[in-house]
Amino acid sequence: MTVSELLDEAVARLEKAHVSFGHGTTTVLDEAVWLLLHALRLPLDSLNDHLADVPNAAKVKSFRALVARRISTRKPAAYLLKEAWLGEHRFYVDERVIVPRSFIAEWMQPRRWDRSTLIFGHPDRQAVKSALDLCTGSGCLAVLMALMFPEAHVDGADISPDALDVAKRNVLDYSLGRRVRLVRSDLFAGLKGRTYDLIVSNPPYVKAASMKTLPPEYRAEPALALASGRDGLDHTRVILRSAHAHLNPGGMLVVEIGHNRRALERAFPRLPFAWPETSSGPGYVFTLRREELES
């Protein structure tokens, strides 16, 4: 069979099984392409160059087994492949961490650096000397911040020691051990006295009712990294109460909140949230300067 025929076969199998997406891919075709290119050991951007190829029997068997595992386990492909991608950056992941996916990461890709620094409250990348990735999980945003801001020392904080073990691997993979420090902390509790020019966070924000109806792929992830109380804002409330004390003058807070904009604005009517544009539109990430936060 050709690569094109194998791809069609996998799409049909995944569609019939009604698997869910959202962990690096959003369509059945993208998911099948990712699995196929991984099994064939080909770069992710090389599909069109290989559609007419005829893989050997061993690679075909490996690919079909991978698709079968995806269907039978209902685990995200990222867990099966031990990798996740944010733009052009690859990260190691396993079941100890949520699969990284973040609108914040969209502004941390090299092709967007010159245009995105204003979102983080600074006119140029050299201006950020200290940064925090709160709820760092796999460490992906901490790594991306260290790459984006070459003068910055970055803290990556998480309550989960298992997550910090995964984050350590990613920090070392990018040779950033001297600039990225990992800290076990329940939000800001373990960061007393530390202040930053920039704080970003993609905290848990799934509300209780939604947690009960998540597809199996999402239930395979640590609930600790998803659930945030009745309205999905338990963690964000703590962040908003505490961030002022951890930001330097002129510093910026950037937080992702999923679909909770309306509830957040009702809960904090006096805060002048800014909602930068994302690939899904505004309303998923807010920014606030230190001076706009209640002290």
Mean of the per-residue pLDDT values of the chain: 96
Architecture of domain 3-81: Orthogonal Bundle (1.10)
Q: pLDDT digits over 31-85, tens only? A: 999 999 999 999 999 999 999 999 999 999 999 999 999 999 999 999 999 999 9
Whether residue 111 contacts residue 130, with contact meaning beta carbons closer than 8 Å, is answered with no
Q: What is the pLDDT of residue 115?
A: 86
Architecture of domain 100-292: 3-Layer(aba) Sandwich (3.40)
Q: Shortest CA distance to 188 belongs to which of 157, 225, 212, 142? A: 157
| Interstrand relation of 153-158 and 130-134 (parallel, antiparallel or unpaired) | parallel
Q: pLDDT digits over 252-284, tens only? A: 999 999 999 999 999 999 999 999 999 999 999
Instruction: Give percent of the chain above pLDDT 90.
Output: 97
Q: Does 3-81 match 100-292 in CATH topology?
A: no
b/e string for 212-237 if b means 16 or more Cβ within 10 A? eebeebbebbbebbbbbbebbbbbbe
- In this predicted structure, the answer to whether residue 141 has a pLDDT above a threshold of 80 is yes
Domain boundaries, the chain: 3-81, 100-292
Cα separation, 216 vs 130, in Å, equals 38
Cα separation, 240 vs 233, in Å, equals 10
Query: Which two structure tokens, joined as six digits, stand for 288?
Result: 């606030």
Categorize the per-residue pLDDT at 114 as very low, low, confident or very high, splitting at 50, 70 and 90.
confident
> Is residue 91 exposed (0-12), middle (13-18) or buried (19+ Cβ within 10 Å)?
buried
Q: What is the 3-state secondary structure (H, E, C) of 73-118?
A: HCCCHHHHHCCEEECCEEECCCCCCCCCCCCHHHHHCHHHHHHHHH
Q: pLDDT digits over 201-232, tens only? A: 999 999 999 999 999 999 999 999 999 999 99
SS3 33: helix
- Name, in order, each residue with C-beta under 8 angstroms of 48's C-beta and a sequence gap of 6 or more: none
Whole-angstrom distance between the N-terminal and C-terminal Cα of the chain? 64
Residue carrying structure tokens 């309205």: 231
Q: Shortest CA distance to 143 belongs to which of 78, 202, 90? A: 90
Q: pTM surpassing 0.75?
A: yes
Q: What is the pLDDT of residue 295?
A: 56
